[in-house]
Amino acid sequence: MAAPERIDLFNGKDLSNWTKRDGSPAGNWIVEDGVYTVVDREGDIVSKETFGDAMIHVEFRVPDMPDKEGQDKGNSGVFVHGRYEVQVLDSYERDVPGYGDCSSLYDRHAALFNNCKKAMEWQTYDIIFRAPRFDADGKLTEFPRITVMHNGLPVHNNLVMERMTGAPLTEEMVAEGPLLLQDHGNAVSFRNVWICKLPPKGADKY
């Protein structure tokens, strides 16, 4: 079996590969030199590409907002399947990261440790996602699992996700879903967003 193909979700020019939550054309985020920056009130963007099991790569940069604190400081999110939010926030030098800090699974699981860089420095998420499993009748048989690398180190290790996080597209688990990038009102930037779709299992013979 050949290695999975990398699928670039941003084309470097515009948001033609993305929609709003309701499927209408994506808002007018700022696009410059392959960098996409949230413009407040333009709305979340959702990839047209969907996936089941996948490796997901996202590079992001939070703005410098020294006069703000907590959820008002560089807030955005990366929603796997549009349902499981890996939080984006300026949590630099936070001693003990909590459920709402950068790289948390929002309001569900805190990061194992804080590996944030300073505001205005590019950071990376590399996410391994195992989609939920369903039987022939559509009944859920296995919850999804997620591993998150933040700036090259594992901050979540094969977590079982029994519930949605944040503000999901729907409350229903699905075998395939899109990537959603959140507009939370802060000028967070993204670049080099891509996925590799993974086969659900390997060969069944020696």
Question: What integer pLDDT is reported at residue 189 of this predicted model?
Answer: 98
Residue type at position 132: P
Which has the minimum average pLDDT: 60-64, 152-156, 163-167?
163-167
DSSP 31: E
Which two tokens mark 121? 């420095």
Closest to 182 measured CA to CA, from 62, 55, 32 = 62
Which two tokens mark 173? 């688990």
Residue 190 · residue 11 · CB < 8 Å: no
Which has the minimum average pLDDT: 116-125, 183-192, 197-206?
197-206
Distance CA 184, CA 186 (A): 6
Question: What integer pLDDT is reported at residue 10 of this predicted model?
Answer: 95
Residue 20 · residue 26 · CB < 8 Å: yes
Question: What integer pLDDT is reported at residue 140 of this predicted model?
Answer: 97
**Confidence category of residue 9, pLDDT binned at 50, 70, 90:** very high
- Mean pLDDT score, 141-161: 98
Question: What integer pLDDT is reported at residue 82 of this predicted model?
Answer: 98
Span 40-75, pLDDT tens digits = 889 999 999 999 999 999 999 999 989 988 898 999
Report the percent of the chain where pLDDT is more than 90. Answer: 90
Span 81-122, pLDDT tens digits = 999 999 999 999 989 999 999 999 999 999 999 999 999 999
**Confidence category of residue 166, pLDDT binned at 50, 70, 90:** confident
Report the percent of the chain where pLDDT is more than 70. Answer: 100
